[in-house]
Amino acid sequence: MALDLPDFAEGGDAQLDAPLDAPFDALFEDAAPRLAQARLDRFEMPAAARAEFLEAVRVIHAVLRRRPGFLRDLLLERTLPDGRVEIATLVEWGATADLAAAKVEAARAQAAAGIDPAALMARLGVQATIASFEPVEGGDEGR
């Protein structure tokens, strides 16, 4: 018994998918939480400081991941031409208020873990650039 299937090699798939695309996309349009605020921090340090610094970062990110409004985080690194290391952390939040509340909780978690961020960075020779960002209006084409 032969099946009558469209010839996908000749563009038949475009005709088949076209009527489904709009309704399917509409199902998921609002399913993903929208980014309201992102925290992007960059840290430059001697290579020897990397392991201890990342240990402290991981403690805090474990707390942040459990907070309301947390969307995702990234830890990135690169070696600089002078041999130092740069680590960037990005944490995305669904609401600005969620980021503010997370800062308070992160400070509590740091204190409970015996982490003094300013003292740690001074001792390890870490230079930090800390900033919060908002999405560019109409700039969510990549999501």
Integer angstrom CA distances of residue 132 from 33, 37, 69, 107, 125:
18, 7, 15, 17, 23
Looking at CATH, the fold of the domain delimited by 49-133 is given as Alpha-Beta Plaits (3.30.70)
pLDDT at position 25 over 90 = no
pLDDT per position as a tens digit, 65-118 = 999 999 999 999 999 999 999 999 999 999 989 999 999 999 999 999 899 999
pTM reported for the whole predicted model: 0.72
Q: Where are the domains of the chain?
A: 49-133
Instruction: Tell me the HSE value of 49 on the side-chain side, using a 13 A CA sphere.
Output: 21
